[in-house]
Amino acid sequence: MPFFPINMHQVRERGWEEVDFVYVCGDAYVDHPSFGASIICRVLESRGYRVAFLAQPDWRKNDDFMRFGRPRLGFMVSSGNIDSMVAHYTAAKKHRSDDAYSPGGKSGKRPDRAVIVYCNKIREIYGDVPIIIGGLEASLRRFAHYDYWDNKVRRSILFDSQADILSYGMGEKQTIEIADRLNAGEHISQLRDIRGTCYICDVRETPLMGAECPSFENVVANKKEYAVSCRIQMNEADHIRGKLIKQRHGNRMLVQNPPMPPLTTEELDEVYKLPFMRAVHPCYDKEGGVPAIAEVEFSITHNRGCYGACNFCSLAFHQGRFITSRSKESIVEEAKLLTTLPGFKGYIHDIGGPTANFRRPACDIQLEKGLCKGKKCLAPKPCPNLIANHEEYLDILREVRRIPKIKKVFIRSGIRFDYLIADKDDEFFRELVEYHISGQLKVAPEHCSAQVLDAMGKPHIETYLEFAKRYFAYNKKLGKEQYLVPYLMSSHPGSTLKDAVELAVFLKKNKIRPEQVQDFYPTPGTVSTCMFYTGLDPYTLKEVYVARNEHDKALQRALLQYFNPKNRALVTEALKKAGRTDLIGNRPDCLIKADINSTTPTNKNKYVKRGVKNGQNKKRK
């Protein structure tokens, strides 16, 4: 099938007088299954609906929003693959100079808070037309939430956007039900019983069942109430046992219906068989295309969900913790298709997902009772019920490796190293090292301090050290020289200056010199963001230290790159504040030398070279 119409001329070329839905997106139009907007549109198309695609409309005037006229059934609105504020700003709240999801990689093609801006413009022009919002930005802002950029608690995005329904999570099933019921003549205000959606009602119409979060007014006034609200939202985010959740905003009630069950293997296979163009729309050719396609063009998504559920990651609140996966046949079929595409050079860049080496739920108990409340499957130690098995994933990788025209199959999305070493059979580990690494493997220990790792929901550092030991042993046995790239995070809630010093000492001892360090970024919808705002662990309500001051964060960040001469003043200040002046001197274990002249490198490149040799930390995706 061709691309969806992007103007009225193309609509008429299809013989249509009108469209059923206009999909408004903050990203440029890329018709690929790694782009959520493309999946939703293809799913609607497969059910017979006529869809037009409105990418990055000019929100400062009406023209683009009137391009297709009033759609028969409604508008669907998304900011794109990532939150528009994250797309625009760094963790230091500085404007980004580029945007991988825009033509030519240029920023400025979408507004801040794109979902709100687009919806308000649509409402201004078309009045009571049905508006359904979805995607990451809407999904993570469905309740009253702390907004890092405004530094305040904002209402549910449903209120500020004036949309009718919010579809949270991956969205295919609820999108079909919404479309079918609108098509059958139901009014948008009647669609209040669809799982995986949120709506607003008068408080007098509030459902009697379910759990109730503290109100918007209460979470604004009281940080403990905010933490309690966060805990309720996380506890009920399970499709098997999750309850309906309510949160009052003034005289109106936000209602979140229970989560929609994830797609089955058969349903996932059907989605990935849809006729995606797997390309950037040619209208962007003159601007150099859309950079985001490069990472995924020859990659395959084989699973959804992540029970790793790191506290700083939004995946658990968006995709959910329950793992579903595609069949081997579906994955092999897609791999064969990739070999026929223009530009394919024999390399599958990834067969992965949120976590590459998850193929099934963490345990059989989850199949009947759902995921446990307030517990993690892997941290701080693997649950005794965990089933760690890579046989199915390994079988898929072997089959894809045998396909003609495929030279190499890489794994570039995250590997959970704690899950990997929990598998008593080391066959996958050995083949990972032998066949599936392109010179370096990226893993995410994040920190070394036990208390910080507990706040992150990550395994303790001993697990990483065991993994690294076995990784390098396999490389040596196979005669390979491949490196580990450890992701590290500074200033996560719970990390004090002393914890940052501990991490610096760990890095020196293990000869790790990260080239780049990621500051904690408080994005909506995560447990860690709740900690950042409230200073409380939402599960225990105990106080958590938070480095909020920019200078305090700079001290922690500098310690992770203590070896860089530019950081000497900050590192010296940090060590003095932490009472660790013993680490300033000429002993081998010292972080910086007492004599400043001796720290100046004679060859600047030696820092880069040693960083590569011992595992450097490149910028996160």
Per DSSP, the residues of 279-306 read EE-GGGGGGT--TTHHHHTTEEE-EE--
Residues 484 and 416 in one domain: no
Residue 5: left (phi > 0), alpha (psi -120 to 50), or beta? beta
Buried b (16+ CB within 10 A) or exposed e, 164-199: bbbbbbbbbbbbbbbbebbeeeeebeebeebbbbbb
Last residue of a domain, one of 153, 168, 199: 199
What are the φ and ψ backbone dihedral angles of 119, each rounded to 5 degrees? Answer: -65, -40
Task: Tell me the DSSP string of 3-15.
Answer: PPPSSHHHHHHTT
What are the φ and ψ backbone dihedral angles of 166, each rounded to 5 degrees? Answer: -110, 125
d(CA 283, CA 68): 18
Residues 450 and 399 in one domain: no
Residues ≥6 apart with Cβ < 8 Å to 450: 380, 460, 461
Q: Is the model's pLDDT at 559 over the cut of 90?
A: yes
For the chain, the helix, strand and coil percentages under 3-state DSSP, each to the nearest 5: 40, 15, 45
CB 334 within 8 A of CB 400: no
Check residue 595 and give its pLDDT. 64
Planar angle of CA 11, 176, 366, nearest 5 degrees: 145
d(CA 133, CA 120): 12
d(CA 91, CA 154): 19
Buried b (16+ CB within 10 A) or exposed e, 466-494: ebbebbbebbeeeeeebbbbbbbbbbbbb
Residues 430 and 447 in one domain: no
User: CB neighbours (10 Å) of residue 283?
Assistant: 14
Q: What is the Cα Rg of the chain in Å?
A: 25
pLDDT in tens, 71-84: 999 999 999 999 99
Q: Is the model's pLDDT at 418 over the cut of 70?
A: yes
- Residue 517 banded pLDDT, cuts 50, 70, 90: confident
| Range list of H helices, 127-198 | 135-140, 157-161, 172-183
d(CA 305, CA 358): 9
Check residue 393 and give its pLDDT. 98
Determine, yes or no, domain membership for 102. yes
Check residue 413 and give its pLDDT. 87
Check residue 613 and give its pLDDT. 37
CATH number at residue 511: 3.30.750.200
CATH number at residue 76: 3.40.50.280
| Range list of H helices, 287-424 | 293-296, 315-318, 328-338, 365-369, 391-401, 417-422
Domain that holds residue 129: 8-199
Residue 100's nearest CA partner among 39, 7, 26, 3 is: 26
Q: Is the model's pLDDT at 618 over the cut of 70?
A: no
**Terminal CA-to-CA distance of the chain, rounded, Å?**
31
Check residue 56 and give its pLDDT. 98
Determine, yes or no, domain membership for 291. no
Residues 389 and 467 in one domain: no
Last residue of a domain, one of 438, 461, 485: 438
Check residue 270 and give its pLDDT. 98
135: three-class secondary structure by DSSP: helix
Q: Is the model's pLDDT at 612 over the cut of 50?
A: no
Determine, yes or no, domain membership for 287. no
Average pLDDT over residues 508-519: 92
Token pair 């979408």 is found at: 110
- Residue 596 banded pLDDT, cuts 50, 70, 90: low
- Residue 106 banded pLDDT, cuts 50, 70, 90: very high
> 538 is written with which tokens?
């939402």
Query: How buried is residue 503: exposed, middle or buried, by Cβ count under 10 Å (0-12/13-18/19+)?
Result: buried
444: three-class secondary structure by DSSP: strand
Residues 449 and 386 in one domain: no
Last residue of a domain, one of 438, 473, 492: 438
Average pLDDT over residues 188-205: 98
pLDDT in tens, 230-255: 999 999 999 999 999 999 999 999 99
- Could you tell me how far CA 518 lies from the centroid of its own chain? 15
CATH number at residue 325: 3.30.750.210
Residues 372 and 461 in one domain: no
**Total residue length of the chain:** 621
What are the φ and ψ backbone dihedral angles of 255, each rounded to 5 degrees? Answer: -120, 125
Kindly report which listed range (273-282, 357-366, 597-606) carries the lowest average pLDDT score.
597-606
- The conformation of residue 166, written as its DSSP 8-state character, comes to E
Determine, yes or no, domain membership for 569. yes
User: CB neighbours (10 Å) of residue 573?
Assistant: 15
User: CB neighbours (10 Å) of residue 465?
Assistant: 14
Residues 409 and 445 in one domain: no
Residues ≥6 apart with Cβ < 8 Å to 383: 362, 363, 375, 376, 377
Residues 485 and 618 in one domain: yes
Check residue 600 and give its pLDDT. 39
- Residue 316 banded pLDDT, cuts 50, 70, 90: confident
Kindly report which listed range (3-12, 70-79, 549-558, 600-609) carries the lowest average pLDDT score.
600-609
Residues 509 and 496 in one domain: yes
Average pLDDT over residues 326-350: 97
**Percent of the chain clearing pLDDT 90 (strictly above):** 94
pTM of the model: 0.93
Check residue 210 and give its pLDDT. 97
For the chain, what is the domain count?
3
Determine, yes or no, domain membership for 281. no
Residues 114 and 153 in one domain: yes
Determine, yes or no, domain membership for 161. yes
Average pLDDT over residues 384-389: 97
CB 387 within 8 A of CB 364: yes
348: three-class secondary structure by DSSP: strand
Determine, yes or no, domain membership for 150. yes
Determine, yes or no, domain membership for 582. yes
Query: How buried is residue 389: exposed, middle or buried, by Cβ count under 10 Å (0-12/13-18/19+)?
Result: middle
User: CB neighbours (10 Å) of residue 208?
Assistant: 6
- Residue 615 banded pLDDT, cuts 50, 70, 90: very low
| Range list of H helices, 376-511 | 391-401, 417-422, 427-435, 450-456, 461-478, 497-509
520: three-class secondary structure by DSSP: coil
Check residue 516 and give its pLDDT. 82
Residues 27 and 146 in one domain: yes
Residues 315 and 401 in one domain: yes
d(CA 144, CA 232): 13
Q: Is the model's pLDDT at 315 over the cut of 90?
A: no
Average pLDDT over residues 589-603: 65
Q: Is the model's pLDDT at 614 over the cut of 60?
A: no
Q: In angstroms, what CA-CA distances link 316 with 530, 544, 574?
A: 14, 22, 35
β-bridge partners, 483: 440
Over the chain, what is the mean pLDDT?
94
Residue 115's nearest CA partner among 136, 131, 138 is: 138
Kindly report which listed range (6-10, 198-202, 237-241, 613-617) carries the lowest average pLDDT score.
613-617
pLDDT in tens, 141-155: 999 999 999 999 999
Check residue 601 and give its pLDDT. 40
pLDDT in tens, 166-187: 999 999 999 999 999 999 999 9
- Residue 620 banded pLDDT, cuts 50, 70, 90: very low
